[in-house]
Amino acid sequence: MDEKIGVIRPQDLEMEGFRDLISDLKLVDIPTNNGMFTWNNQWGGQHQGASCLDIFLVTEGLINRDIFFEASIIPGLGSDH
Kindly report, residue by residue over 26-73, the tens digit of the pLDDT: 999 988 898 888 888 878 788 888 888 888 999 988 887 877 888 898
pTM for the predicted model, two decimal places: 0.62
Spell out the residues 6+ positions from residue 49 whose beta carbon is closer than 8 angstroms to its own.
4, 5, 6, 7, 40, 41, 43
Q: Which amino acid is at 10?
A: P
Q: How far is CA 47 from the centre of its chain?
A: 21
Nearest to 53 by CA among 68, 67, 32: 32
